Amino acid sequence: MKILKPILFLLSPLAFFLLEGCEVEFSPNAEWKNVPVVYCLLDQDDDTTWVRVERCYLGEGSIYSYSSIRDSVIYPQGSISVALLAYQNGTLKDSLPFIYTTRDRDSGSFASDNMPLYYCYTKNRLNQDYSYVLNVRKADGSLLVTTNPISLIKWKATADRTSPITKPTYNTYLHYGEFSFNGTGSAKNTCEIEWDTLSNARRYQPMVRFYYRVGSDTTYVDLMCPSTVSTVSSSRLSVLYPRETFLDDLKNKLKDDPSYKVNLNKVDVYLLCCTEEMNAYMSSVSHLAYSISSREVYNNIKGGVGIFAARRRHIYKSLPFEYNIDAPEGITYKIEHLGINMH
């Protein structure tokens, strides 16, 4: 595992007092150096794969003076090329070139005219039996950055199971196993979501897509369930989604929407997951916003910094939503009394 120590760090007020009497002079900056920053996530169910390539910097003067200059963070169009290479048993099987485009960036301290992105239409072209390497080359053809091969997340449906999500279950004839918060014992007032593990997946987070109607239009909000990490021996995993947490999440999503809404009594349960590379990156940066100390950040870009990993976001199961329990314990009754203009 490669790790990158952040370049920028902060000193506490006490540290400044301690340094005041020090006779040693030093410069926290260095001669300007081009360091590529690359982000790419592969999902074989996506229509399009995107790659973001920019650069970080270290130089004399204020970092803000650099960040506001477009040429400090942007590679000019035509100066680099991006390609995804597919291998099987060491043999090159496919090469996917990416196309340059731009997107608007939110205003702030960093240059915000247009953000360059590179895209490739990859629907039905990413093969879960291949491994993939990302290459970024300079205009002269020389290699700027590359990566180790990564694998996609695999799920092969069987004849009797078309989704890895095993709970909640639903049988059209028996009307059994709605998305319900009717757990018993320690799982009382919870919904258990269970699934078979997927090959190459490391971190999982179920998501509930809650549908409702506004006028004649059907819309939805996405509610994130607790996440969990698999072990080598894991063949099946589960999480508990408490009813009160669900209600709080729903209220937080809808409280600023003044429109009158109707509960449609149906949900989709999605299974979001990512590979070990993405899990390691997320774990290493998860506390950076809450700490001013130096911290090591996972990095798997050779010749630069960033992350190249795989994920899946499109595996789901549609279920009827619980509505059969009488008030005041019924979930429909509780939703109606959240104060969010819903009936």
- The DSSP secondary structure of 169-180, one letter per residue, reads --BTTTTB--B-
Residue 40 contacts residue 308 (beta carbons within 8 Å) = yes
Residue 249 contacts residue 203 (beta carbons within 8 Å) = no
User: For residue 287, what pLDDT is reported?
Assistant: 63
User: For residue 263, what pLDDT is reported?
Assistant: 85
User: For residue 108, what pLDDT is reported?
Assistant: 47
Neighbours of 303 (CB within 10 A): 13
Label residue 207 by pLDDT band (50, 70, 90): very high
User: For residue 172, what pLDDT is reported?
Assistant: 58
Residue 165, CA distances (Å) to 85, 161, 169, 176, 184 in order: 31, 9, 8, 15, 20
Handedness of CA 96, 71, 35, 285 (dihedral sign): negative
135-194 pLDDT, tens per residue?
999 999 999 999 999 999 998 888 878 899 999 987 655 555 688 888 777 778 899 999
Asked if pLDDT for residue 2 goes beyond 50, the answer is: no
Label residue 328 by pLDDT band (50, 70, 90): confident
Q: What is the mean pLDDT of residues 328-342?
A: 80
Which range (61-70, 186-195, 214-223, 320-329) has the least confidence? 61-70
- The DSSP secondary structure of 55-86, one letter per residue, reads EE---SS-HHHHHTSHHHH-PPTTSEEEEEEE
User: For residue 293, what pLDDT is reported?
Assistant: 54
User: For residue 17, what pLDDT is reported?
Assistant: 33
20-65 pLDDT, tens per residue?
444 444 445 555 567 899 999 999 999 999 999 998 765 555 444 5
Residue 300 contacts residue 33 (beta carbons within 8 Å) = no
Query: Closest Cα to residue 319, out of 206, 186, 237?
Result: 206
Residue 120 contacts residue 84 (beta carbons within 8 Å) = yes
Neighbours of 136 (CB within 10 A): 24
